[in-house]
Amino acid sequence: SKLRDRGYIQGREVVQSGKPNKLIYTLTPEGRTALRHWAARPSTPPSIKDDLLVRLHALDSIDIEPVRTDLMDRLEHHRDRHENYERILKKRFPEGTASGVLDLGNLLLLRLGARHEQMVADFCEEALDALSAMSGKATVVPLDDGKREGKG
């Protein structure tokens, strides 16, 4: 890897039985310096590249049923990911607070992940509701309900 070639990380193999061995990486002093320099630079806002958004933009020119199916699949995917983030948050931060800087970073990342997944699930519900209203098919189960087909 580039990081290893530059001397920023070093890895050690952990032998496991019944599973493939894994590599554990640690930062070298040079890597820690490079990380500090990199982190001091402004971050670049992410761009969204999602072919589903192009399909939604072109709804007047395409068959809507595959888009509806895609939205339902995405909805379930993002609901599942949201539930996973919430499980991790409750397990690692039962009080909802961090005890130090490392914990704070992890708590903030987990909260962002949970909110992102919730927001995308909400968007999928909104899009499905709008498509259903347009075609008269009501098929969306609200996220709060917690009961999905085949999930409980």
pTM: 0.75
Alpha-helix runs per DSSP H in 97-139: 101-135
- What is residue 134's predicted lDDT score, i.e. its pLDDT? 83
- What is residue 135's predicted lDDT score, i.e. its pLDDT? 77
- Terminus-to-terminus CA distance in the chain, angstroms? 43
HEC sequence for 20-36: CCEEEEEECHHHHHHHH
- What is residue 122's predicted lDDT score, i.e. its pLDDT? 98
Sorted by where each begins, the domain ranges of the chain are 2-40, 51-145
Which of 59, 81, 61 is closest to 70 using CA atoms? 59
Which residues of the chain fall below pLDDT 70? 136-152
Residue 103 backbone phi and psi in degrees, to 5:
-60, -40
